[in-house]
């Protein structure tokens, strides 16, 4: 029966199977689905963020520190948010890869090597991943070593730092949305 199926039908069946496997792997461990799809940098990003969150939670609840409940709640809520965003991103990545293989990407541009470079892979080639690894690794070392000054900082300014961090994240999201709405208006005006 498989030999009777047209070649395109087999390919579609294989891509659906591949997408399903990627989702199952992403559900097991954040980042694994991206590894399966060949998006190694994205997969490593999710794994580093998960490890950083776990290290931070262990540091906050460690002996010798007053437990900062709001920070602990925020760190605890970050795990399911990261998990579900990871599964969502694997779904979107698998769909994009299937669509891109069928027809060329309209948004793709030529990179310095003369190859098509899509905005979809921008994170894969950027400096931001290197910064994430360096900062994440440094924070993990600090959380493991538990220096006294860091403990004093969390005891004295932990709540204030958390509030300022949330305000900054809110402002960044607000500015991003304003920028996107301005771009949409310009596109509509051009028509």
pTM value is: 0.68
Tens digit of each residue's pLDDT (9 = 90 or more) over 59-81: 888 756 667 777 788 889 999 99
Report the distance separating Cα 139 and Cα 114, nearest Å. 38
Query: What pLDDT score was predicted for residue 118?
Result: 60
- List phi, psi (to 5°) of 164: -65, -40
Query: What pLDDT score was predicted for residue 94?
Result: 86
Tens digit of each residue's pLDDT (9 = 90 or more) over 97-141: 777 765 555 555 555 554 555 665 666 666 777 888 888 888 888
Spacing of C-alpha 66 from chain mean position: 31
């Amino acid at each position: 029966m498989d030999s009777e199926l047209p070649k395109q039908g087999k390919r579609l069946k294989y891509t659906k199977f591949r997408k399903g496997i990627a989702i199952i792997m992403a559900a097991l461990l954040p980042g694994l689905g991206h590894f399966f799809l060949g998006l190694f940098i994205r997969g490593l990003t999710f794994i580093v963020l998960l490890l950083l969150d776990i290290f931070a939670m262990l540091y906050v609840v460690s002996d010798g520190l007053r437990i900062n409940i709001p920070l602990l709640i925020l760190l605890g809520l970050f795990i399911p948010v990261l998990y579900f965003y990871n599964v969502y991103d694997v779904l979107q990545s698998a769909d994009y890869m299937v669509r891109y293989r069928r027809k060329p990407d309209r948004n793709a541009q030529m990179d310095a090597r003369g190859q098509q470079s899509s905005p979809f892979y921008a994170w894969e080639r950027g400096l931001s991943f290197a910064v994430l690894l360096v900062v994440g690794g440094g924070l993990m070392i600090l959380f493991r070593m538990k220096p006294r000054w860091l403990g004093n900082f969390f005891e004295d300014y932990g709540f204030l730092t958390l509030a300022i961090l949330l305000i900054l994240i809110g402002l960044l999201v607000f500015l991003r949305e304003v920028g996107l709405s301005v771009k949409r208006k310009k596109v509509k005006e051009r028509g």
